[in-house]
A and B are shown apart, each in its own frame.
Chain A
Amino acid sequence: MNWIIRTLTCSVGKKLIMAVTGLSFCLFLVSHLAGNLTIFKGQKAFVSYAESLHSLGALILMAELGLLVLAIFHICFGIWLFVGNLGARPVGYAVKKNAGGRTLSSAIMPYTGLFLLVFIIIHLLTFHFADRGGKDVYNLVHTTFTKPGYVIFYLIAMIAAAFHVKHGFWSAFQTIGANHPKYMPVIKTVGLVFSLLVGFGFGCLPIYLSLS
């Protein structure tokens, strides 16, 4: 057991945790987006999707607990790395210029991450733990997105998510050691397309609902 802890708490191991949990979240985003897009087929399709999810009972509870564990690891190790990295340069530079490696999405990674944490808490409070008072889930979503504040907050969160995924996706492959001249260009393209899908896919929902 000692070797597992030793490995996962070294700098490469911590990044490995970020990569594996991050890629798991990418899979979750695919299923979440696919489910949410049923809203375009109308109220009935969306409500029946939600009901069939809830009818899974113990399975859905296990999935939720699994996501919670992944989130705890991703958040805790992310903060641990962030704080550690800040300490690695106690005296900063008076002038620091980007030499060509850093991108906007990689530079703001910890901040988009922390913002997404705030978003997820509000998102869960709004939809998951909300008292629906007899209304179906479609009505809840619809009334929420008639408020412009929510729409703007969700759009900003989705832009943050797209930036987070754009750097995170290829970065995860690099961390698990899968940087290969044949595959890395493909991985980077897939990551970029996926981040755009996340941004536009989730982003179009509040806009569509606020207009309909």
Chain B
Amino acid sequence: MSKTINLTLKVWRQPGSEAKGAFETYGAKDISTDMSFLEMLDVVNERLSVEGKDPIAFDHDCREGICGMCGSVVNGVPHGPQKATTLCQLHMRHFADGDTLVIEPWRSRAFKVIKDLAVDRSAFDQLIQTGGYISANTGAVPEANAILISQETAELAMDAAACIGCGACVAACPNASAMLFVGAKVSQLALLPQGRPEAAKRVQAMVRKMDELGFGACSNEAECEAVCPKEISITNIARLNRELIKAAFGSPF
């Protein structure tokens, strides 16, 4: 038999993006410690539905920690207290019986609350559209050994590419800055030869877009790195800075 715990939830409820929100308190009784955090919310929602109340809206999709859709701020920390873990992979065994959990949506000027805990992160999509890609012609598969890349470089690029775009970095940043996200996207492409031709244009365009979308500026607090479920390092932010300086002073445009 698995252990069960009783919790008190203080959840941010907001009927729509323009509506005024407030915290509502719910009891979450007999929660199995084997449940994930989202499964616990499912149980609470089922009970709310039975009572005829509006269930809590929250973002989720794969529930395997790889899609980047889920995420809420639990007791002041995005994705909750467990390091390198998305909210869907956070299990209730990390909480104690009688705990009170305050659950809030990501807070940022660039991320609007859609409903309750569901947040519009299309600002990230706009950033990707601005430069988070390479232009490649379709055609025959290129020869695999034509461009040699060292294992170390490939690993560094892969570490940056592990970003799932969940937005926890923005939520955790005291300045609501998107520098870790943009740093990861710029890095994964700047590190590889295929990304070099457009590197200067990409970094300038993405930083400009980031400012335009209303994200804050980085002040090297490193809170983003601490909450990132994929443990993306702030060395990627330094690489972004380096790429921008190089692009601004070195490129012809």
Contact = CB atoms under 8 A, between A and B. Distances in A.
Interface of A: 3, 6-7, 10-16, 81, 84-85, 87-102, 106-107, 109, 167, 170-171, 174-181, 184
A93 B111 CA distance: 14
Contact of B225 (A101, A109, A178): A101
Interface residues of B, number: 52
A6 B211 CA distance: 12
Interface of B: 10, 12, 23, 73, 75-78, 102, 104, 107-110, 172, 174-177, 179, 207-208, 210-211, 214-227, 234-235, 237-245, 248-249, 253
21 contacts: A7-B248, A10-B207, A10-B208, A11-B211, A12-B218, A87-B109, A93-B104, A94-B102, A95-B104, A96-B76, A97-B75, A97-B77, A98-B223, A100-B226, A102-B222, A106-B219, A107-B221, A175-B241, A176-B242, A177-B239, A179-B235
Given A10-B211, A95-B102, A178 B224 contact: no
B174 A16 contact: no
Contacts of B23: 94
A12 B108 contact: no
B102 to A, nearest CB: 5
Contact of B248 (A3, A11, A89, A102): A3
A11 B227 contact: no
Contacts of B219: 15, 81, 85, 106, 109, 171
Nearest to B235: A179
Most buried by B among A10, A11, A87, A175: A11
A13 B76 CA distance: 30
Given A88-B175, A174-B234, 6 more contacts: A11-B179, A87-B214, A88-B214, A99-B78, A101-B223, A177-B245
